[in-house]
Chain A
Amino acid sequence: MEIFWNSIAEYNAATWPYQLAFIAVAAVLTLVLWFRPCTWAKIATKVLMVLESLWIAFVYYMKFAATREHSSVMAIFWCLVAASWVYDLATHYSSFQKSGKYRPWGVIMILLPLVYPVISLLRGMTFPEMTTPMLPSAVALYMLGMLMAFNRKVNFFAFIFIMHWALLSMTKIVLFNIPEDLLLAAACLPAMFIFFSDAVDSGPSGGKPSRMAVKALILGIVLVIGAVWIYAYV
Chain B
Amino acid sequence: MTQEYVNDIADFISRYVTHMLGAGVHTSRVVRNSKRIGEALGTEVRIHTSQKTATLTVCEKGGSTMSTRVLDIPGFPISFEWNADLSALSWAAYDNDMSLEAIQHKFDELISKPKINPWFVLFMVGLANASFCRLFGGGVWAMLIVFTSTLVGFFTRQHLTRRGVNHYIVFIVSAFVASLCASSALSLGIESAEIALATSVLYLVPGVPLINGVIDITDGHIQIGISRLVNALMLIVCIAIGMSGTLMLVKDSLL
Contact = CB atoms under 8 A, between A and B. Distances in A.
B94 interface: no
B250 interface: yes
B184 interface: yes
B255 A72 contact: yes
B118 A203 contact: yes
Contacts of B120: 207, 209, 213-214, 217
A73 B156 CA distance: 19
Contacts of A156: 155
Contacts of A221: 123, 127
B181 A175 contact: no
A62 B249 CA distance: 13
Consensus secondary structure, chain B interface: helix
A77 B155 contact: no
Interface residues of B, number: 36
B255 A157 contact: no
B186 A73 contact: yes
Interface string A195-234: 0100110011011110101100110010001001000100
Given A73-B250, A80-B177, A164 B188 contact: no
Contact of B145 (A68, A161, A168, A232): A168
A75 B250 CA distance: 11
For chain A, give the interface size range: 35 or more
A203 B119 contact: yes
A218 B118 CA distance: 13
Contact of A160 (B151, B188, B254): B151
B124 to A, nearest CB: 8
Interface string B214-255: 000000000000000000000000000000000001100111
Contacts of A207: 114-118, 120
B110 interface: no
8 contacts: A70-B186, A72-B249, A74-B184, A76-B250, A164-B151, A204-B115, A218-B123, A228-B140
The 7 closest A-B pairs by CB, nearest first: A70-B187, A207-B117, A164-B148, A72-B255, A214-B120, A208-B114, A171-B188
